[in-house]
């Protein structure tokens, strides 16, 4: 995990941290995590080895520096990992590459850069072509996080379907407290300020919602929200919040709005459902696969549709809360772990 930058990698970070916890319970498998200097202590329950010479960071320059360090010190890193039968790169980028004789497994969360190339710079597209697409073609097995993502990988990269293993993400309902009672007058959207998260259309939609429900506010959480510029005074830009604070927001929000244009999976709708919060979500990418019939789906490109979805979800709060509680049971971290074990064993 030498590209790991704790606190800045969104849902993929949640996935990998939970994977380390789940691998600690796997019988017949011994897992060790290899992390950069700034990520010491990230792993939950499995052995961890810090590669102190690799220092990761959130900027493009820091990312390139981490890749360069991993390449420069690759022989020593490979010696440290020499006992492994399988080397897995859950953050997609395979640095350094495994030694000959070691199986290579890559997690490829999505192919957003091919489906929405207009959202990426030329350097970023080149980076993903090499480290995402090229690595996927070389890998012995690819793990992805939804059937939607698998279908796009098969179609766009031409990989054999049997090479790709789907490991749905999950939430642990025991970590959330469902609130079936009264809720406060705000809509919640937890997402980083990336373009595909579609904040601008959501804010326009909320102007319509506020004509139906005066006083309704919008609460935004996540990193990079300064990029959204000036916002109306009824928008609370909270930025990065603690897990406890986010869970409190799920418990009290009138609705979770999730207008993303593209997701390989999308955890917030499941987290909201586990908290008894009604969900209004985009009909794009993997989101319908995750939400099933437990959310109101809308067209994320249509402001009126987003607004109507939010209003409908508020009006159907009780029904959606019940459906959401049932939907969450379809996803379990143990199943995610088992899909990884099947991928490892298929190539070991």
Q: What is the CATH number of the domain that holds 226?
A: 3.40.50.2000
Specify the number of domains making up the chain: 2
Q: 14 and 139: one domain?
A: yes
- Is the pLDDT at 204 greater than 90, yes or no? yes
- Lowest-confidence pick of 64-68, 87-91, 161-165, 333-337: 64-68
Q: 186 and 307: one domain?
A: yes
Proportion of the chain above pLDDT 90, given as a percent: 91
Largest CA distance in the chain: 64
Nearest 5 degrees, angle CA 199-CA 205-CA 208? 155
Question: What confidence category does residue 118 fall into, taking pLDDT thresholds of 50, 70 and 90?
Answer: very high
Regarding pTM above 0.85, the answer is: yes
Q: Cis omega (within 30 of 0) on the bond before 96?
A: yes
CA atoms within 13 A on the CB side of 214: 0
Q: How many CB atoms lie within 10 A of CB 314?
A: 21
Question: What confidence category does residue 9 fall into, taking pLDDT thresholds of 50, 70 and 90?
Answer: confident
Model confidence pLDDT, tens digit, residues 266-323:
999 999 999 999 999 999 999 999 999 999 999 999 999 999 999 999 999 999 999 9
Q: 212 and 122: one domain?
A: no
Q: What is the mean pLDDT of residues 116-134?
A: 94
- Is the pLDDT at 60 greater than 90, yes or no? no
Residue 218: what pLDDT? 98
Question: What confidence category does residue 64 fall into, taking pLDDT thresholds of 50, 70 and 90?
Answer: confident
4 falls within a domain: no
- Is the pLDDT at 56 greater than 90, yes or no? no
Residue 212: what pLDDT? 94
Cα dist from 208 to 40, 41, 187, 220, 307, whole Å: 46, 45, 13, 18, 6
243 falls within a domain: yes
Q: Name the residue range of residue 199's domain.
A: 173-328
Q: 193 and 253: one domain?
A: yes
Nearest 5 degrees, angle CA 220-CA 317-CA 289? 70
119 falls within a domain: yes
Q: What is the mean pLDDT of residues 122-148?
A: 96
83 falls within a domain: yes
Q: 200 and 150: one domain?
A: no
Q: 72 and 206: one domain?
A: no
**Average pLDDT over all residues of the chain:** 95
Model confidence pLDDT, tens digit, residues 89-110:
999 999 999 999 999 999 999 9
Q: What is the mean pLDDT of residues 5-13?
A: 85
Contact residues for 230 (Cβ-Cβ < 8 A; gap 6+): none
Measured between alpha carbons, how far is 245 from 176 in angstroms, rounded to an integer? 12
């Amino acid at each position: 995990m030498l590209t790991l930058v704790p606190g800045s990698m969104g849902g993929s970070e949640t996935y990998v941290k939970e994977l380390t916890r789940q691998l600690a319970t796997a019988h017949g498998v011994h897992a060790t995590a290899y992390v950069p200097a700034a990520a010491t202590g990230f792993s939950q329950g499995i052995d961890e080895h810090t590669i102190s010479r690799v220092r990761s960071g959130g900027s493009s320059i820091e990312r390139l520096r981490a890749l360069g360090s991993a390449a420069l010190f690759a022989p020593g890193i490979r010696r440290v990992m020499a006992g492994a039968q399988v080397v897995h790169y859950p953050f997609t980028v395979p640095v350094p590459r495994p030694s000959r004789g070691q199986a290579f497994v890559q997690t490829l969360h999505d192919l957003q850069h091919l489906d929405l190339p207009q959202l990426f710079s030329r350097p970023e597209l080149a980076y993903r072509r090499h480290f995402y697409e090229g690595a996927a073609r070389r890998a012995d097995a690819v793990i992805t996080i939804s059937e939607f993502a698998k279908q796009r990988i098969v179609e766009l990269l031409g990989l054999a379907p049997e090479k790709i293993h789907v490991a749905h993400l999950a939430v642990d309902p025991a970590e959330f407290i469902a609130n079936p009672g009264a809720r406060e007058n705000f809509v919640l959207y937890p997402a980083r300020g990336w373009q595909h998260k579609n904040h601008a259309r959501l804010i326009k939609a909320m102007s319509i919602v506020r004509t139906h429900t005066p006083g309704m506010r919008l609460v935004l959480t996540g990193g990079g929200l300064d990029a959204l510029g000036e916002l109306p005074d009824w928008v609370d830009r909270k930025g990065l919040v603690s897990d406890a604070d986010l869970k409190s927001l799920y418990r009290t929000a009138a609705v979770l709005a999730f207008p993303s244009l593209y997701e390989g999976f999308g955890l917030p709708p499941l987290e909201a459902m586990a908290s008894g919060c009604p969900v209004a979500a985009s009909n794009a990418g993997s989101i319908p696969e995750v939400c099933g019939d437990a959310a109101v789906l809308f067209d994320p490109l249509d402001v009126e549709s987003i607004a109507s979805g939010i209003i409908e979800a508020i009006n159907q709060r009780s029904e959606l809360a019940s459906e959401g509680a049932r939907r969450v049971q379809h996803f379990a971290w143990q199943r995610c772990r088992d899909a990884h074990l099947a991928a490892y064993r298929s190539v070991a």
